[in-house]
Amino acid sequence: MNIDLARTFLEIVDTGNFNKAAERLSVTQSTVSMRIRALEDELGRPLFVRSKSGTQLTAAGMQFRRYATTMVRVWEQARQELALPAGFRTVLNVGGQFSLWDRLLVQWIPWMRTAMPDVALKAEVGSSDGLMRQLIEGMLDLGVMYSPLSRPGLHIEKLLEERLVLVSTRRRSVAEWDDDYVLVDWGPEFRAAHSQAFPDLKTPAVSVGLGALGLQHILAYGGTGYFPMRVVRSYLSAGRLFEVAGAPEFRRPAYLVYAEDETREDWFVTALDGLRYVASLESED
């Protein structure tokens, strides 16, 4: 079976739509339809039911999903391992959101190199949606992210819980509001809790979608903002930032996601244990 057929099937399952699957795969909708027809002809069963409300799996499609996921994952693993240089037994593909690479995953890489020197590492940075898609397609072995989506065949566990604290470049209390407040978008749960805590807050002059950008801005030009304690701890110790007295704190969990597989080899179990260990060192309580 052509592996592109399985990839196309999984994209439709993930998006629920032939058009969106075509956009992700950078092909035309007619190509997607042709691939699914070819796949259904090979299997001798219809895999999807299409309607105005979207695309749904048939009973046969639900059964095939597990096999398609395994096929794509095995193909990617074989393709990568055949290209491995001498001295390495396998390659581990790991992805994480940008702010989780800071301190957490960056510390895990040297830990892993020491614990399993014969395992090559390939690191990726992406959004939760992009990382989930790569996990489904078998292009990633594990991912660390804030907002994973529940998908069949993937295991999700909470890795750590970040404590978002309000910090400023000068000593102040929350009653002394700072016009240089920088609103960092830490996700939908944070936005909802933030709006509830500060219902009368006017639109800030600066809003950013990347925590590192917001932090660099206030360090360079002054201001106030919410950031993970694990990220700002060194700046607090050095006196470059100060916690805002009386300000509410928010929690933001991060998750470890990987494919369910009872036959995992020792190197993968070691990698998971290493991530859990490094995460435990970043405890903020």
- CATH fold for domain 162-252: D-Maltodextrin-Binding Protein; domain 2 (3.40.190)
pLDDT of residue 151: 84
| Burial of 205 from C-beta contacts in 10 A (0-12 / 13-18 / 19+) | exposed
Long-range CB contacts (within 8 A, 24+) of 59-67: 61/9, 61/13, 64/9, 65/9, 65/10, 65/13, 65/152, 65/153, 66/152, 66/153
The residue ranges of the chain whose pLDDT is under 70 are: 1, 80-81, 103, 283-285
pLDDT of residue 81: 66
SS3 label, residue 59? helix
Token code pair at residue 211: 């925590």
pLDDT of residue 1: 64
> CATH code for 3-81?
1.10.10.10
pLDDT of residue 149: 86
Check: pTM over 0.75? Answer yes or no.
no
pLDDT of residue 209: 87
- What are the start and end residues of each CATH 3.40.190.10 domain in the chain? 92-160+257-283, 162-252
- What are the start and end residues of each CATH 1.10.10.10 domain in the chain? 3-81
* Whether 24 contacts 17, CB under 8 Å: no
* Domain boundaries 92-160+257-283, CATH class: alpha beta
Q: Cα(57)–Cα(134) distance, rounded to whole angstroms?
A: 21
Phi, psi of 277 (to 5 degrees): -65, -50
pLDDT of residue 241: 97
Segment 132-174, tens digit of pLDDT: 988 887 788 999 999 898 888 899 999 999 899 999 999 999 9
pLDDT of residue 285: 56
